[in-house]
Chain A
Amino acid sequence: MTLSKPPALATWMLEHLAPGIDGNALAGDLLEEFRHRRSVAWYWRQVLLAIFVSFSKEFGRQWRAAGFALAWTFGSAIVLRVLYQSSHFRGLQGWAIMRDWPESIVLSISLFMSPQFLMWWFGLGFYLVTVRSFSARRLARGVLVSLVLGLLAFAFDLSGGERIVMQELPRQAIPFIYSTPSFLVLMLSICATLPSAAIKQAKRIRTSQ
């Protein structure tokens, strides 16, 4: 069924999560097509494909960010392993598990996830400062993207999806499989914060007119 208004979430995602293309013009085109003859499913499909294409484009462009995200991912994996194996952290986990339900499950999951999220956010902020692109708005956008993607990654891990993937691969690949979601979350968050060449170009066109 075709509605006169497209899904607001999809439009928001297009405008905020597609750094590699001119999201404003594309959003206008999608809205025009949607009002003319297209369905909600078509709109969602177009938005998700645009985000995928945008990030693929940015990945090819952001070699410096990719290198940083890779180094940060492996560095933080070592830090997190040390933290998770420390007696203090295990004691904290034991304390969380001993609480009443549902407090125990909420605290346990939060304790497990929060160090990883902090590593992503610290890495994001560090990168933005290093490339002199830091602003509170950019950091907030990156934090939001990492929050959404990070929760999806943890949900995939908790559902056993990661273990199923690993059973199909040789043992040597296991550290890379563990690190891939973390790398992708950080890399995509960085991409979402940086002004892409396409947006810079669109702004140049607007100001020159």
Chain B
Amino acid sequence: MSRGHLGEFELMVMLVLIRLGEDAYGVPIGRAIEEASGREVALGSVYAALERLEEKGLVASSVGDPTPERGGRAKRYFRVTNAGLQQVRKTRQTLVNLWRGLPQLERGRI
């Protein structure tokens, strides 16, 4: 398990995975990040982040059945592991601690 904190994009991917549950594969993950960020997302970057998280044991993947609309290619489903959930909580706590008590960032002053 990774002891460090999640990067910004990794955290976004993890939160989307938690939100999507069992339907999390490349297309809905990319769409959810695009909708949240308002920017086009490179699916290659999403896969690179997912595979990095998988190597750290924070995400697990499984391959579904091939479908005709995907040219006979299978979907690769991703889910967050228990270690991944702990890591998300830890990152959230760190960010909340850092965020707290910053008057410059309250009520849109900046």
Name the residue on B nearest A37 (C-beta). B31
- When the two chains form their complex, are residues A202 and B47 in contact, meaning their CB atoms are under 8 A apart? no
Distance, CA A50 to CA B30, complexed state (A): 13
- When the two chains form their complex, are residues A25 and B51 in contact, meaning their CB atoms are under 8 A apart? no
What is the count of residue pairs linking A and B with beta-carbon distances less than 8 angstroms?
91
- When the two chains form their complex, are residues B51 and A201 in contact, meaning their CB atoms are under 8 A apart? yes
Stretch of A28-36, A70-78, A105-113, A174-182 that contacts chain B? A28-36
Could you list 20 A-B pairs, sorted by A, with CB under 8 Å? A21-B47, A22-B51, A24-B73, A25-B76, A26-B44, A28-B75, A29-B25, A29-B70, A30-B43, A32-B70, A33-B27, A45-B40, A49-B45, A50-B47, A54-B44, A198-B47, A201-B51, A201-B54, A201-B55, A202-B63
The chain B residues found within 8 Å of chain A, CB to CB, are 25-27, 30, 40, 42-45, 47-48, 51, 54-55, 61-63, 66-67, 69-71, 73-76
Q: A57-B51, A205-B61 are in contact. List 8 more A-B contacts (CB 8 A).
A: A28-B66, A28-B70, A31-B70, A32-B69, A33-B27, A42-B40, A53-B42, A206-B63
